Amino acid sequence: MFYIGADTVLMQVIIFNLMENAVKYAKEQTIINVIIEQTEENMSFNISNIIDREVINIEKLTHEFEREDNYKEGVGLGLWIVKQLIILHDGKFSLSCFNRIFNAKCTMKKK
């Protein structure tokens, strides 16, 4: 068992936003993977899934009001909010996409 120093309401926002994005952009009938890992110093959780199309400029998705395109509802704030909240908790947030497997990773220090 491990603990992180985090606001529970803000952690709910982070997890909800990441899961909502995974469901929204997942290819139909795909599995959404959630993996929690720990090292001596950190805890990380990864949410990954297969998406409909390759992401061209993944880094812009963490910017305010930025979206890959307009084929789904939304205003482009979800991943930006997640990034800001992870930074607020002195953590790291990263996105990757390879062969249409989209991965969001949050890393935070353990208490």
Q: What CATH number is attached to the domain comprising 73? A: 3.30.565.10
- Which residue is associated with the tokens 């990034």? 83
pLDDT at 71: 61
- Residue at 3 is within a domain: no
Give the residue numbers spanning the domain of 22.
8-109
Residue segments in the chain with a per-residue pLDDT below the cut of 50: none
- Residue at 1 is within a domain: no
Determine the Cα–Cα distance for residues 53 and 110; give it in Å rounded to an integer.
Answer: 35
- Residue at 2 is within a domain: no
- Residue at 86 is within a domain: yes
Cβ-contact 66, 6 below 8 angstroms: no
pLDDT at 55: 86
CA distances from 12 to 43, 67, 97 (A): 16, 22, 24
- Residue at 26 is within a domain: yes
pLDDT, one tens digit per residue, over 5-33 is: 888 899 999 999 999 999 988 889 999 99
- Residue at 55 is within a domain: yes
Task: Give the CA angle between residues 5, 10, 16 to the nearest 5°.
Answer: 120
- Residue at 37 is within a domain: yes
Token pair for 92 = 């790291």
**How many structural domains does the chain have?**
1
